[in-house]
Amino acid sequence: MKKLLKFLLISILLILPATIVNAEDLGNRLSGKILLQVEDEGQAWYIEPSTQERAFLGRPDDAFRIMRELGLGIKHIELEKYLNSKFPDRLSGKIMLDVEKNGEAYYISPDNLSGYYLGRPTDAFNVMREMGLGITNNDLEKVPIFQKYAEQTDENTQAIKIIEEQLKEQQNKIVKLEKQLEQNNENISVPRPPLITPPAPLSVDFVVSDSGYFPKSFFVNKSQSVSFSVSNESSNTFIFVFQNEVLKNVGIGVVPNETRAITFQAPSTPGEYIYYNGVGYSQDNGYKADFEHGDPPVFGKMIVN
The residues spanned by each domain of the chain are 34-152, 202-304
Helix (DSSP H) and strand (DSSP E) numbers for the chain: 6, 17
Amino acid at the residue 303: I
Give the fold, CATH level 3, of 202-304: Immunoglobulin-like (2.60.40)
- The residue count of the chain comes to 305
For residues 34 and 108, the answer to whether their CB atoms sit within 8 Å is no
For residues 108 and 115, the answer to whether their CB atoms sit within 8 Å is yes
For residues 97 and 107, the answer to whether their CB atoms sit within 8 Å is no
pTM: 0.44
Largest CA distance in the chain: 98
Calculated CA dihedral for residues 222, 228, 234, 240, nearest 10 degrees: 60
The one-digit pLDDT tens for each residue of the chain (305 residues) are: 555 444 444 443 333 343 333 546 676 789 999 998 888 777 888 899 988 898 888 777 777 788 778 889 999 999 999 999 999 999 999 999 999 988 888 999 999 999 999 888 788 778 877 888 999 988 988 888 887 766 655 565 666 567 667 778 888 888 888 887 777 765 555 566 666 666 678 888 889 888 878 888 889 999 899 998 999 998 888 888 888 888 888 888 899 999 999 899 999 999 999 888 877 655 554 434 444 444 455 578 899 98
Give the closest residue to 96 by CA, choosing from 118, 123, 122. 118
Strands 271-277 and 238-242: antiparallel
